[in-house]
Structure 1
Amino acid sequence: MPKMKSNSGAKKRFALTGTGKIKRKHAFHSHILTKKSNKRKRGLVKTGLIDVSNVKQVMAMLAK
């Protein structure tokens, strides 16, 4: 049986932390920023962790 391929889009979007959690970036921070408050834009810069309910799907996309 051939090896599983990783999802190329997922490789670019997610990263594993040292403890095995999955980091992600926030959406809505690429354009149309004038109407968003500075506080909101600052919050979107920070990385977050994916929800526990999505861990299985993301790990399958990363083929790990």
Structure 2
Amino acid sequence: MPKMKTSRAAAKRFKVTGTGKLKRNKAYKRHILTKKTTKNKRNLRKPAMTDATNVKNMKKILPYL
């Protein structure tokens, strides 16, 4: 059997935690930050876990992660 290919774009955006969950960074932190509150911007810094509905697809495109 040939090796499966990892989606390199996804591999750069997701990390696996010790328990096997997928960790991701939050969106909306790149530009147009003046209208966002300080509290909102602070909360966008924290990483988030990938939603359970997306995990099956993510594991498919990240076979070796």
TM norm structure 1: 0.94
| CA distance in 2: counterparts of 1:53 and 1:35, whole angstroms | 31
Aligned residue-pair number = 64
> Quick one: percent identity of the two aligned structures?
52
In structure 1, list runs of 5 or more residues that go unmatched.
none
TM norm structure 2: 0.93
1:26-37 matched pairs, under 5 angstroms? 26-37=26-37
Instruction: Compute the RMSD of aligned alpha carbons.
Output: 0.8
1:62, distance to aligned residue in structure 2 (A): 0.7
| CA distance in 1: counterparts of 2:49 and 2:58, whole angstroms | 12
| CA offsets 1:8-29 (integer angstroms, 9 cap, x no match) | 1100110000000100100000
| CA distance in 2: counterparts of 1:22 and 1:30, whole angstroms | 22
Q: Does 1:54 align with 2:49?
A: no
Secondary structure of 1:6's aligned partner: coil
